[in-house]
Amino acid sequence: MSGAARRVLVTGAGGQLGRELAVRLPEYGYEVVALGHGELDVSDTRAVGEALRRHSPEVVINAAAYTDVDGCESEAGLAYRVNALGPRNLAQLCERLGCELLHVSTNYVFDGRSERPYAPWDRPNPISVYGATKLAGEEYVRHLTSRWYIVRTAGVYGEGRNFVRTMLRAARERKTLKVKDDEHISPTYARDLAGGIIRVLEGRLYGVYHITNSGACSWHEFAREIFRIAGMDVEVVPVPSSGYPLPAARPPNGVLSSPDGPALRHWREALAEYLREELGREQHT
């Protein structure tokens, strides 16, 4: 990046992706204002306006979301306020103030019935409240501002509550775990995702992007690789989704393709790095 540093305001800075963006953006020469939910509720129109006017960002990255997929089913109003009206508020204010908006979305906007990975131009068809509200947020961004990027991702893990930590914790309590083998994703390390988002910003080409670590697997395969790398003796039994009914439906194929977006390293390589750091921290606590 050349010239004066661009100021970026990150919402949802307390989440896994938001934390990585707050760390990585300055490494690329950006000036960062990182606001967690306690500092900025994106569903509060007045608060969004005040924050954007106070900090005068050139770019806003919206990493704020209500991501409890099952919780969204019982709290649809809250999910809509955060996942749809939040992006609406940001889009309207960004358009008015002349700044760019990069909105982070999800593979859950698709129904998962495709036999191939989903491309950015494929038609969304969400099958859960979470997916529907995230799609509504995308639509607000598309229609209410002219300087937008939408980045869809999947299976994110990093510094916070996530599948990897859940598996490690469960394995310490029992030696046999049942994990779904009929839902597929591309597990994505939040640190790598942050780097991909920065590359999108550097490119200055508006539009829809899919960014995940490369490769794909079932949740069952993901769990087995976690324990292999961690050196833990755990039996991982494959089970169908029907064996574990949950309030929200999940897309059986949640894999995204990115023909023109930033290419990230293979998910196994990213997971190995994450686990080295994660297990290293545990040994020193």
Q: Which residues pair with 45 in a beta bridge?
A: none
Six token digits for residue 200: 């999108």
End-to-end CA distance of the chain: 39
Strand 207-210 with 235-239, pairing: unpaired
Residue among 130, 157, 209, 274 flagged as catalytic? 130
Element holding 105 (H helix, E strand): strand 100-106
Q: Tell me the pLDDT tens digit for each residue of 216-252.
A: 999 999 999 999 999 999 999 999 999 888 999 999 9
Residues of the chain with pLDDT under 50: 1-2
- Its pTM stands at 0.95
Per residue in 175-194, pLDDT (tens digit) is: 999 999 999 999 999 999 99
What's the burial of 149, exposed, middle or buried (CB within 10 Å: 0-12/13-18/19+)? buried
Task: Give catalytic status of residue 130 as yes or no.
Answer: yes
Distance (Å, rounded) from C-alpha 272 to C-alpha 49?
41
